[in-house]
Chain A
C-alpha cells in the first residue's frame, strides 16, 4: 500500500455469465483512492457503480485485473480473509438501510462489534459514541419499524462507523430519502469524514449527493469516463 493510497485498481474487468456468453459490467478500470477522500462513483443505472463498489467491498471478485484494498488483493482472498477485511476495515451503508428488524437501534449498531468479539463495556462505549455522532442517543431502544427513513439511514451510518473503519462504502444512501433527510445524512457523513479522516466512497446518481463530493468519478457502460477533484469553497 503506497503512502496514503487505500485502494488501487489496475485494469479491472468484471464479467457476469449470461446464458452461454457473458455481460461485461466493468472494463479497464484504473483508479487510486486515498485516505480521507470523499469520493463518488457517479453514473446512470447499469454503468457499473455498484459492481465496482461491491468488488472494493470484497463482496465480489474481479474477472481480470488487480484490486488492492488496504494492501490486500481482493481476487486472491479466501472467504475468511475476505470476511476479515470487511469486518475490520470496511463499513457499508445501503440504499435500503438493511437494518435487522428484530434488533433495536443499539443492537443494530452493536452488531459489527460483536463480530469483532469486543468486550461488553467497550462495545457500549463505542455504540454510544456512534449514536451521538448521528444524533440518535434517545432512540437506542427503538426498533427500525419505529423509525423514519432518515433515522434508519442514520442508524445505518452509525453501524458503519462504530468500528472506525478505514473505508465506508455507501450505495445510493439517499435514494429512499427526501431532500431534507438527504442533506442531514450527507452533512453527517461529511462531518465524520473530516473529523475521523474516514474514506467515503459513494455509488450514486443523486445530484444531492454529488454536490457534497470532493471527487467525482463518472462511469458509463462500465468504463471510467471522467475523474475530477472538486474544490470546495
Chain B
C-alpha cells in the first residue's frame, strides 16, 4: 500500500515525464486492441459471409470432387437420389452442378466455371431469383469482379461453350440478367451461374449435381452413398489459415508496439536508477529496506501502465467505438486479391481481447520495470546517498 502511495506520488510529481511515457503506452494499448479488433472483425465477417454465400451449414461433395484439381471436375457429378431429393424438397439443402466452360466476351477467350443452381433455392445468399427464364434465353448471373474483368453488363449476351458428359462440345448464348456483389470472391471470380436444370440439360447430366449445400440450420443431415460431408471446420480452413497468418503478422505488430512501449518504460527505469541514486539512498536512510525500494520502483514502472490503461480508456473507448460503428474502409481493389474481405471491416472487440491485452501490457511492464530495479538491491546505501555511480 505504501509502495502504491509513494509510486503514485512520484509519478504525479514527475509530471510531463510521466505523462509522455503514459501517452506512448496508452497508444500501444489502443493500437493493439484496435488491430486485434480489426482482425477479429475481419474473421467474423469472412466466416459470416462465407457461410451465408457459399457453404451454408456444410456441404456434401460428390466423392470425386476436388476443387483444387480441375482434372477431377468432369468426373465429379453424382445422381441426386430420392433421399437427397427429399431433403432438397424440405429446404434442407440445394444442389449445385459444376462444369468447365469457355466464355467469349467481345471475342476474347475466357475459361470459366459454369455452375448450375436452383433458381428457387433459399439456402445461400446468391440472388438466384434472377435466373428465372422469361423470354426463352438462358439467364445467367455473374459477380461484379467477373463482370468487370469481362466488361459485361446486365442485358448483355455472351457466348458460352461447354462439353457434355460424353465430351461433345456445344455452345450457346447466355443473357446476363443480374450482376451481384459479394464479399466472397470464390462465388464470383470466373464463375457464371445458370439455372440448374438448364445446366443439367446442356451437359446431359439430368438429376445430377457436384455439391449439395445444406442450410445453416441443418448442417449434417445424414450419410448419402457417393457423397462426403464437409463441415464448417473443413470448409473454413482456408479462412482460418489466412486469419492465422494475419494474426502472426498482427503478433509482429504487437511485439513491435510492445517493444516500443516497453523500451520507454525500461529506459525511464534505467535512467531513474542512475539519476535517482540519492533518492534511493535517502529512502534507505529514512527507513526503507532495499527490497522495499525495489518494490517501489517496480510499482512505479507498473503504475505507468495502469495510468496508460486509464488514459487509453478515456480516448480509446470513444475512438474504438466509433471505428466499430463506422468501420474501416478497405482500399479499392482489395477484394481482387481473392480474399474474403468486405469493402468495410467493422472491428470486433471482445472483453477477453480488452482484458487480455491489458493484462499482457501490465505484466510485461511490471517485468520490464523490475529488471533494472533489481540493481538497487546491489547498491551500497552509503554510495547511493552520495549519488555515486556504480
Per the 8 Å Cβ criterion, residues 94-136 of A in contact with B are 94, 96, 98, 100-103, 107, 111-112, 114-117
Q: Does A200 count as interface, using CB distance less than 8 angstroms?
A: no
Residue in B14, B286, B290, B380 whose CB lies within 8 Å of A115: B286
Per the 8 Å Cβ criterion, residues 175-224 of A in contact with B are none
Could you tell me if B288 and A98 are in contact, using CB atoms closer than 8 angstroms?
no
- The residue on B at minimum CB distance from A102 is B13
Query: Which residue of B14, B286, B385 has the most chain A CB atoms within 10 A of its CB atom?
Result: B286
| Range for the number of chain B residues in contact with chain A | 20 to 34
- The residue on A at minimum CB distance from B1 is A117
Could you tell me if A59 and B287 are in contact, using CB atoms closer than 8 angstroms?
no
| Bound CA–CA A111/B14 (angstroms) | 17
Q: Does A5 count as interface, using CB distance less than 8 angstroms?
A: no
Could you tell me if A96 and B278 are in contact, using CB atoms closer than 8 angstroms?
yes
Residue interface mask B360-390, A partner, CB < 8 A = 1: 0000000000000000000011100101000
Q: Does A38 count as interface, using CB distance less than 8 angstroms?
A: no
Could you tell me if A117 and B2 are in contact, using CB atoms closer than 8 angstroms?
yes
Per the 8 Å Cβ criterion, residues 249-301 of B in contact with A are 278-279, 281-282, 284-292
Min CB gap B6→A, angstroms: 7
Query: Which residue of A50, A94, A102, A159 has the most chain B CB atoms within 10 A of its CB atom?
Result: A102
Q: Does A28 count as interface, using CB distance less than 8 angstroms?
A: no
Residues of A near B387 (CB, < 8 A) are 96
- The residue on A at minimum CB distance from B5 is A114
Could you tell me if B287 and A98 are in contact, using CB atoms closer than 8 angstroms?
no
Q: Does A64 count as interface, using CB distance less than 8 angstroms?
A: no
Binds B, one of A41-49, A66-74, A80-88, A146-154: A80-88
Q: Does A57 count as interface, using CB distance less than 8 angstroms?
A: yes
Q: Does A79 count as interface, using CB distance less than 8 angstroms?
A: yes
Residues of B near A115 (CB, < 8 A) are 2, 286-288
Interface of B is mostly: helix
Interface of A is mostly: helix
Residues of A near B285 (CB, < 8 A) are 57, 59, 86, 92, 94, 98
Could you tell me if B385 and A88 are in contact, using CB atoms closer than 8 angstroms?
no
Residue in B10, B281, B287, B289 whose CB lies within 8 Å of A102: B10
Min CB gap B57→A, angstroms: 63
Min CB gap B281→A, angstroms: 7
Contacts A114-B2, A114-B5: A100 and B382 contacting too (C-beta < 8 A)? no
Residues of A near B148 (CB, < 8 A) are none
Q: Does A227 count as interface, using CB distance less than 8 angstroms?
A: no
Contacts A84-B287, A114-B5, A115-B287: A98 and B278 contacting too (C-beta < 8 A)? yes
Q: Does A27 count as interface, using CB distance less than 8 angstroms?
A: no
Q: Does B48 count as interface, using CB distance less than 8 angstroms?
A: no
Could you tell me if A88 and B287 are in contact, using CB atoms closer than 8 angstroms?
yes
Per the 8 Å Cβ criterion, residues 61-81 of B in contact with A are none
Residue in A88, A100, A114 whose CB lies within 8 Å of B279: A100
Q: Does A35 count as interface, using CB distance less than 8 angstroms?
A: no
Residues of B near A30 (CB, < 8 A) are none
Could you tell me if B385 and A86 are in contact, using CB atoms closer than 8 angstroms?
no
| Bound CA–CA A50/B388 (angstroms) | 15
Min CB gap B301→A, angstroms: 15
Q: Does B9 count as interface, using CB distance less than 8 angstroms?
A: yes
Min CB gap B12→A, angstroms: 8
Residue in B6, B12, B288, B382 whose CB lies within 8 Å of A60: B382
Could you tell me if A79 and B288 are in contact, using CB atoms closer than 8 angstroms?
no
Q: Does A54 count as interface, using CB distance less than 8 angstroms?
A: yes
Per the 8 Å Cβ criterion, residues 6-26 of B in contact with A are 6, 9-10, 12-15
Residue in B13, B286, B290 whose CB lies within 8 Å of A112: B286
Min CB gap B295→A, angstroms: 13
Could you tell me if B382 and A112 are in contact, using CB atoms closer than 8 angstroms?
no
Residue in A50, A84, A98 whose CB lies within 8 Å of B281: A98
| Bound CA–CA A112/B12 (angstroms) | 19
Could you tell me if A83 and B284 are in contact, using CB atoms closer than 8 angstroms?
yes
- The residue on B at minimum CB distance from A99 is B282
| Bound CA–CA A112/B385 (angstroms) | 16
- The residue on A at minimum CB distance from B13 is A102
Contacts A59-B284, A60-B382: A80 and B278 contacting too (C-beta < 8 A)? no
Could you tell me if B385 and A114 are in contact, using CB atoms closer than 8 angstroms?
no
Could you tell me if B13 and A103 are in contact, using CB atoms closer than 8 angstroms?
yes
Min CB gap A167→B, angstroms: 13
Min CB gap A210→B, angstroms: 23
Could you tell me if B286 and A86 are in contact, using CB atoms closer than 8 angstroms?
yes
Min CB gap A107→B, angstroms: 7
Could you tell me if A87 and B287 are in contact, using CB atoms closer than 8 angstroms?
yes
Residues of A near B282 (CB, < 8 A) are 92, 94, 98, 100
- The residue on B at minimum CB distance from A81 is B289
Min CB gap A74→B, angstroms: 13
Residues of B near A114 (CB, < 8 A) are 2, 5-6
- The residue on B at minimum CB distance from A94 is B385
Min CB gap B379→A, angstroms: 11
Residues of B near A92 (CB, < 8 A) are 282, 285-286
Could you tell me if A54 and B278 are in contact, using CB atoms closer than 8 angstroms?
no
Using a CB–CB cutoff of 8 Å, the interface residues on chain B facing chain A are 2, 5-6, 9-10, 12-15, 278-279, 281-282, 284-292, 380-382, 385, 387
| 12 A-B residue pairs with CB within 8 Å | A59-B382, A82-B289, A83-B284, A83-B287, A83-B289, A86-B284, A87-B288, A98-B279, A100-B13, A103-B13, A116-B287, A117-B2
Given contacts A87-B288, A94-B285, A111-B286, 17 further A-B contacts (CB under 8 A): A59-B284, A59-B381, A60-B382, A79-B290, A82-B289, A83-B284, A83-B292, A86-B286, A87-B287, A94-B385, A96-B387, A102-B10, A103-B13, A112-B286, A114-B6, A115-B287, A159-B286
